[in-house]
Amino acid sequence: MQNKTIKAAGYEIVYGNDALAVLSRMLRSNAYQNAAFFLLADEHTHLHCWPRLVTAVPELENAELLLVESGEEWKNIAICTQLWRALSDLGADRQSVLINLGGGVIGDMGGFVAASFKRGIRFIHVPTTLLAMVDASIGGKVGIDLDMLKNQVGAFAPPEGVFIWPAFLDTLPEEQLLSGFAEMVKHALVADPEYWKAILHTDPKDPEALARLIPRSVEIKNEIVRADPTEKGHRKLLNFGHTLGHAFETWSFETGTTPILHGHAVAMGMLGECELSRYQKGFSDKDLETVKAFLLQHYRPVNFHDTDINRLFELMRHDKKNKGGKICFTLLKAIGEGATDETVNPETILKGLQVCR
């Protein structure tokens, strides 16, 4: 895959087969001459991705490894405290650099740890999941969960760079590919009707097909973020599917059922929020049926019961996008045209929930 460099706000996103070679050259530059390198990974990326990374980037051969368990349930302040202590015990200083090798949890938490340690050390994202490549590593958001509520504590802090090596897609199971693909669907629905057409003809279980689309998703997210870096308005487009989706995701952890991966929860969130869009913004029945059929072709409905509905509403009320105690959604007027800060009455929200199960 040919290299592509995308200018973000204060850093560059490098995509392609030579992305790690570019990272290697960067770490040899004068800016990193006196830097100590630390690398954050989970058990999966340590096993499958770390050997490939250190082969391509020998400058990291002697990096101090910080290992955490995989999973959203570990993205919390207790694990951050362990990581801060490890950095301190290992002598990290303001010149140190933390490399985040992993998916969205590693990037979110690693970025938060780096941004807050000694009031901020440098960090670099090397995303290894599709979701992290197209979404989580782009945009300068870092953060952790609070009592299982998604991303309640965090900050805006840009990395030194993001290096996307598509070969890491080969390490992923199909469920992880589908999880990342949901964010690509979101990008198309809120910003680019032509991209949506390409999405409709893509097999989300084919790493090579997905690799060809990654740059467009990165461009869409980066363009939206650059127009609104701190999410005052336009960037809220990227929340489409996430009000319902985050509720589904957190509910699945709370109930002890099989946790729903973020992208799978967002896919069902988009399904429900398309239904809300029909009632609230006149989203066409034809487009609704197309989106619905496509999402249900690839993603499973959520197995919740009537007794869970009150809790799902409670979780939505905790969403950080809300204003004045009202649940806020990003909805669609049409494919490629979103509307932010939409409040919806509870009866209509319930209709949106019902189509997701």
Write out the catalytic residue numbers: 119, 141, 183, 221, 231, 235, 239, 242, 246, 262
The β-bridge relationship of strands 12-15 and 161-164 is parallel
Report the distance separating Cα 353 and Cα 347, nearest Å.
10
How many CB atoms within 10 Å of residue 121?
21
Query: What's the burial of 323, exposed, middle or buried (CB within 10 Å: 0-12/13-18/19+)?
Result: exposed
For residues 134 and 183, give the distance between their C-alpha atoms in angstroms, rounded to a whole number. Answer: 7
Alpha-carbon distance of 76 to 123, in angstroms, equals: 19
Closest CA to 259 of 111, 141, 145: 145
What ranges make up the beta strands (E) of the chain? 4-7, 12-15, 37-42, 64-68, 97-102, 122-127, 141-146, 149-156, 161-164, 328-334, 337-343
The rounded distance, in Å, linking the Cα atoms of 126 and 180 is 15
